[in-house]
């Protein structure tokens, strides 16, 4: 039975159900379990729900060590930028142990953090910084765009034997959607075709999936049929679904809230240029944030970020262009 | 002045044998590195064998040990087989980690050597995690982490001490203070002379011992270990020791005075224990030479075994 709940409620439900299912799952973070009435503390007790000091390195490293010792900690890291404080522990320790030990150990660790909160939070609390994690060996990265995927990807992340970075988009926090009540698992590495179309393929993640859908609706009125793909996890990345779509449409527009040179967009562009070049009937178009910090002032924030208008313009560019037209 | 008399002679004999195994192993690794049979960046622990032996020989296989970049001695003392450890350093398929980890990333789960990490201090919070898991399971398992005095100036050291004391985790922080943080003396890094003083505000027992006096390390660690096993929380043991070799093999080592032979004979933890054993009467005259011979033979066998192991030719299936 599905019912409509918010994106954040879906994430927490995913964690709660996994904690009920497996005693080794822990919830750790700087602002978890604030009171005895907290639904996690009330159900699982303060031994499994632990508040930590503002010590990102010790907090994440300790969780990583607990994972090596067989626990399945979920660390609520609050905000993606806070991961940067503990970068050695995020990208250079637990994620490498399975490989470096010749498979002797696993590190089932989930790092949950919000990103992309473009609401005047300015240069250090708004970044879409997943690009710097998606190429890190041994680390998986999930970017859910709907409440159902948020719950299902969280459950899958907790059951995965590798460290998983679970990045939820702050602007989606209170968005609602149908979410299955019971066990719900969304597999990693399987993109969702969220809107089928025939003329242009758009690949988008997180909040930009919804902006891409709005753009697709607008373009449909003009007779342009847009297919929208949400990779859902960017490591592993389902390149096959994207290539198959481009083989049908011949045109690719990549939408990404990240800075262009550290984006999913740039990686997808490279993959398609390498493996799908013969399918392309127009140059790949990237609609990303500018390579700049997110500004504070509202008009400048808008200037830096992608939006529906920029996506529509990008699609029109792809539709109007022809490979080799300039020769 | 030593406390050697308080430690059982059988224990001291075992420690001497362990130190010889580490010494013979490390000297052979150095030779193989120079002969280019050992690949990669190598940090030897010659001079520090006493700490490794006195700490690890008190632990069980289910206790977790974490080490850093200078890890061979800790792994050997914790029970890692010499042949598979040597094979790992030689990058062979039969190595502990199938040749995927190497010197700075030795792991031997079967003996609770949970692992070496290559970034200074990065192993400290990991040990807290093993300790948390042990505590949550209601066992008397402990976690031990070895680090150098250089790691103490990193923020994560203080973060970890704070968290370990806050949660009373069964973790033993063993600092090998050799007075040098990579290439520079401690005085260039901090105004605090003793690592024990750094943790003064926190409620954890701390003790500084001469790390080359093996019996002292054994006794001090034994007391702290008993507390941790009884659920009384973390402790810090600072072992003053000496790194005979440079920071890494190939280090020109121009930043410090070479230790004189006489000085080294006074400091060498092996020679010191042998003198103590002789004086106290538990070590017969021929035994040191016998222990050394046996250790070198065992290391030779390990090298032969490692050489017979093929190089890995592909990433193992389970790692893909």
Using CB atoms, pick whichever of A53, A99, A104 lies closest to residue B163.
Answer: A53
Query: Which of B133, B134, B151, B312 best probes binding to A when mutated, by most A CB atoms within 10 angstroms?
Result: B133
pLDDT for the residue numbered B293: 98
User: B-side interface with A, Cβ within 8 Å?
Assistant: 64, 66, 95-101, 105, 107-109, 114-115, 117, 119, 122, 124-134, 136, 143, 155-156, 159-160, 162-163, 166-167, 316, 318-319
Please give the residue of chain A at the shortest CA–CA distance from B112.
A69
Subunit contact A71:B122, Cβ cutoff 8 A: no
Selecting from B100, B134, B160 the residue whose C-beta is nearest the C-beta of A102 gives: B100
Of the candidates A134, A169, A167, A139, the residue with the CA atom closest to the CA atom of residue A153: A167
Residue B320 has a pLDDT of: 66
Q: How far apart are CA A128 and CA A116, in angstroms?
A: 5
Nearest-by-Cβ selection for A97 from B64, B115, B131:
B115
The pLDDT of residue B1 = 43
Q: What is the pLDDT of residues A298-325, one digit of tens each?
A: 999 999 999 999 999 999 999 998 765 5
Burial class for A324, CB neighbours closer than 10 Å (0-12, 13-18, 19+)? exposed
pLDDT in tens, chain A (327 residues): 899 999 999 999 999 999 999 999 999 999 998 788 899 999 999 999 999 999 999 999 999 999 999 999 999 999 999 999 999 999 999 999 999 999 999 999 999 999 999 888 888 888 999 999 999 999 999 999 999 999 999 999 999 999 999 999 999 999 999 999 999 999 999 999 999 999 999 999 999 999 999 999 999 999 999 999 999 999 999 999 999 999 999 999 999 999 999 999 999 999 999 999 999 999 999 999 999 999 899 999 999 999 999 999 999 999 998 765 544
Whether residue B123 contacts residue B75, with contact meaning beta carbons closer than 8 Å, is answered with no
Q: Which residue has the tokens 């066992």?
A: B139
CATH superfamily of B4-306: Thiamin diphosphate (ThDP)-binding fold, Pyr/PP domains (3.40.50.970)
Residue of A26, A64, A73 with shortest CB distance to B126: A64
| Chain A CB contacts of B319 below 8 Å | 98-99, 102-103
Whether A105 contacts chain B with CB within 8 A? yes
| Yes or no, beta carbons of A99 and B319 under 8 Å apart | yes
Chain A residues close to B97, C-beta within 8 Å: 100-102, 104
Q: Which residues of B74-93 are buried (b: 16+ CB within 10 A; e: fewer)?
A: bbbbbbbbbbbbbbbbbbbb
DSSP state of B44: -
Among B101, B122, B127, the residue with its CB nearest the CB of A89 is B122
How much is the pLDDT for A306? 96
Domain ranges of chain B: 4-306
| Number of Cβ within a 10 Å radius of residue B158 | 17
- Nearest-angstrom CA–CA distance, A111 and B51: 36
CB contact under 8 A, A102 and B115: no
CB pairs under 8 A between A and B: 136
The interaxial angle of helices A264-275 and A239-249, nearest 10 deg, is 60
CA distance B292 to chain A (A): 31
**Is A70's CB within 8 Å of B136's CB?**
no
Mean pLDDT in each 10-residue stretch from start to end of chain B (320 residues)?
A: 67 97 97 94 93 98 97 98 98 96 96 94 97 98 96 95 98 92 82 92 96 97 98 97 85 81 88 96 96 98 98 78
Chain A residue numbers with beta carbons less than 8 Å from the beta carbon of B109 are 101, 104-105
Half-sphere exposure (CA, 13 Å, Cβ side) for B207? 18
Q: What is the Cα Rg of chain B in Å? A: 19
Identify all chain B residues contacting A103, using CB atoms and an 8 Å cutoff. Answer: 98, 316, 318-319
């Amino acid at each position: 039975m599905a019912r409509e709940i918010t994106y954040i409620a879906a994430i927490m439900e995913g964690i709660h159900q996994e904690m009920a299912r497996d005693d080794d799952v822990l919830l750790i973070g700087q602002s978890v379990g604030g009171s005895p009435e907290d639904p996690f503390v009330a159900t699982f007790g303060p031994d499994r729900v632990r508040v930590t000091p503002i010590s990102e390195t010790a907090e994440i490293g300790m969780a990583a060590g607990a994972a090596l010792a067989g626990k399945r900690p979920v660390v609520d890291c609050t905000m993606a930028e806070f991961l940067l404080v503990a970068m050695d522990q995020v990208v250079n320790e637990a994620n490498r142990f399975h490989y470096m030990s010749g498979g002797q150990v696993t590190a089932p660790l989930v790092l949950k953090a919000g990103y992309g909160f473009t609401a005047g939070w300015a240069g250090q609390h708004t970044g879409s910084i997943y690009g710097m994690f998606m190429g890190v060996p041994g680390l998986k990265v999930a970017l859910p765009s709907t409440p159902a995927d948020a719950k299902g990807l969280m459950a899958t992340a907790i059951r995965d034997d590798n460290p998983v970075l679970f990045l939820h988009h702050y602007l989606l926090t209170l968005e609602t959607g149908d979410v299955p009540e019971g066990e719900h698992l969304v597999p990693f590495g399987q993109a969702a075709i969220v809107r089928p179309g025939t003329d242009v393929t758009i690949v988008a993640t997180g909040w930009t999936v919804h902006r891409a859908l709005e753009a697709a609706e607008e373009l449909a009125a003009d007779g342009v049929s847009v297919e929208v793909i949400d990779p859902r996890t960017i490591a592993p990345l389902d390149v096959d679904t994207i290539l198959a779509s481009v083989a049908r449409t011949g045109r690719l527009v990549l939408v990404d809230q990240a800075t262009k040179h550290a984006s999913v967009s740039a990686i997808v562009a490279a993959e398609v240029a390498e493996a799908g070049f013969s399918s392309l009937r127009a140059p790949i178009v990237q609609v990303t944030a500018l390579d700049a910090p997110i500004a504070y002032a509202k008009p400048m924030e808008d200037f830096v970020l992608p939006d529906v208008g920029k996506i529509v313009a990008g699609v029109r560019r792809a539709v109007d262009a022809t490979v080799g037209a300039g020769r | 002045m030593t406390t050697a008399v308080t430690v059982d002679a059988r224990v001291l004999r075992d420690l001497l044998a362990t130190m010889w195994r580490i010494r013979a192993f490390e000297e052979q690794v150095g030779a193989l590195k120079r002969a280019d049979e050992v690949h990669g960046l190598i940090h030897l622990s010659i001079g520090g064998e006493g700490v490794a032996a006195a700490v690890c020989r008190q632990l069980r296989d289910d206790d977790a040990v974490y080490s850093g970049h200078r890890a061979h001695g800790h792994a050997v003392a914790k029970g890692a087989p010499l042949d598979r450890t040597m094979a790992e350093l030689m990058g062979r398929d039969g190595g502990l980690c199938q040749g995927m980890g190497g010197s700075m990333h030795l792991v031997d789960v079967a003996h609770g050597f949970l692992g070496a990490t290559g970034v200074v201090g990065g192993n400290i919070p990991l040990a807290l995690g093993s300790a948390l898991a042990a505590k949550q399971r209601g066992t008397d398992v402990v976690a031990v982490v070895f680090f150098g005095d250089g790691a103490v100036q990193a923020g994560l050291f203080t973060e970890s001490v704070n968290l370990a004391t806050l949660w009373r985790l069964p973790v033993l922080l063993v600092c090998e203070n050799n007075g040098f943080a990579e290439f520079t003396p401690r005085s260039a890094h901090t105004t605090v002379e003793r690592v024990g003083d750094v943790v003064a505000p926190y409620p954890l027992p701390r003790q500084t011992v001469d790390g080359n006096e093996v019996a002292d390390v054994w006794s001090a660690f034994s007391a702290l270990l008993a507390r941790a096993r009884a659920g009384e929380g973390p402790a810090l043991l600072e072992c003053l020791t000496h790194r005979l070799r440079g920071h890494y093999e190939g280090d020109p080592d121009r930043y410090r005075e070479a230790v004189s032979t006489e000085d080294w004979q006074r400091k060498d933890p092996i020679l010191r224990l042998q003198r103590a054993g002789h004086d106290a009467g538990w070590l017969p005259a021929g035994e040191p030479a016998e222990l050394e011979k046996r250790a070198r033979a065992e290391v030779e066998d390990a090298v032969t075994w490692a050489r017979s192991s093929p190089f890995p030719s592909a990433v193992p299936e389970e790692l893909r």
